[in-house]
Amino acid sequence: MELPRVSKVPFQLMMPQSRMSSVVFASPHSGRDYPWSFLRRTVLDERTIRSSEDAFVDRLFECAPQFGAPLLKAGAPRAFVDLNRSADEMDPALVEGVRRQAHNPRVASGLGVVPRVVAGGRAIYRGKLPLDEAQARVVDYWRPYHDQLQALLNEARSYFGEAILIDCHSMPHEALDGIAATGAQRPEIVLGDRFGASADGEIVDRIEAAFAAAGLHVVRNAPFAGAYSTQAYGRPSKGQHAVQIEIDRAIYMDESLIRPNANFHAFRKLLRGIVAEIVEIGGRGAVPVAAE
């Protein structure tokens, strides 16, 4: 399997011809730009290094601009820099010169802003990285992505009086084995709203209803309640909401080969209707605004 390689860009932005909604879609973990300098340094093969990727999630949601909402897609892969972490979540076990701070379970497990491991706890490097290299990844990739994301949310609030971030992710099928072991129905979609802290309940209700009406089993906040983006951007009292969506990868891809499976196109078609309904949530009383 050959890794896809594109130009070095921190993000790709797909804008609608007219913004019809306060909704902004973002895919922070679907980046596929693997720099050669990074690939030469990692001890992992090309398939393993991609195991942390939310592969094809950007393709699942790429219809959003057709309905009037922007889609922001990561350029860099998660194994290189994690855009769903705080910029200061540096791992002292990986980055030279970083002081140990208060216990952070994400950093302790190797999943800081510059990850030490990929899925399954497999180490990415031998030894440590220089601090200036880790900081450069934040400056070159993390900050431009988040500056653009906040600009999109600010524009939504200016145009429509509110902003709704839909943070799009996928989850390994095995992540839900614990739920299935209890005899409960295995979830296909997990919505994270930080247990009600990051978004108005009515918004989350309508997102859940859109997935459920399409025949998908939806749960909230378990096992994923939302990470940095949901926590940082979810400010309901200020009219800025954030909801994380996790989709079971087994629905649409072969996880071992990192390829779309036979159901990919059918699921993308199903998701198209769901995306349209989510966009409508942010179109309440809105005035369409032409994209610049």
Q: CATH number for the domain including 23?
A: 3.40.630.40
Comparing C-alpha atoms, which of 73, 240, 64, 69 is closest to residue 150? 240
- Per-residue confidence band for 152, with pLDDT thresholds at 50, 70 and 90: very high
Share of the chain above pLDDT 70, in %: 94
Q: What is the pLDDT of residue 176?
A: 83
Alpha-carbon distances of 190 from 219, 226, 232, rounded to whole Å = 5, 10, 19
Cα–Cα distance measured from residue 193 to residue 204, given in angstroms and rounded to the nearest whole number: 8
Residue 246 has pLDDT above 60, yes or no: yes
Residue 134 lies in a domain: no
Residue 1 lies in a domain: no
Comparing C-alpha atoms, which of 229, 240, 230, 226 is closest to residue 164? 240
- The single residue listed with the structure tokens 């290094």 is 49
Average pLDDT of the segment spanning 137-141: 96
| Amino acid letter for position 175 | A
Share the mean pLDDT of the chain: 93
- The single residue listed with the structure tokens 């019809």 is 20
Residue 191 lies in a domain: yes
SS3 24: strand
Residue 108 lies in a domain: no
Residues in the chain: 292
Residue 252 lies in a domain: yes
∠250-256-260 over CA atoms, to 5°? 55
Residue 215 has pLDDT above 60, yes or no: yes
Cα–Cα distance measured from residue 62 to residue 250, given in angstroms and rounded to the nearest whole number: 19
Question: b/e per residue, 221-234, with b = 16+ CB within 10 A?
Answer: beebbbbbbbbbbb
Residue 117 lies in a domain: no
Q: What is the pLDDT of residue 182?
A: 76
Range of the domain at 271: 11-88+140-290
Return the sign of the alpha-carbon dihedral for residues 184, 189, 194, 197.
negative
Phi, psi at 275, each rounded to 5°: -60, -45
Give the contacts of 276 (CB within 8 A, at least 6 positions apart). 63, 67
According to DSSP, residue 221 is labeled: S
According to DSSP, residue 95 is labeled: B
Structural domains in the chain (count)? 1
Residue 45 lies in a domain: yes
Residue 47 lies in a domain: yes
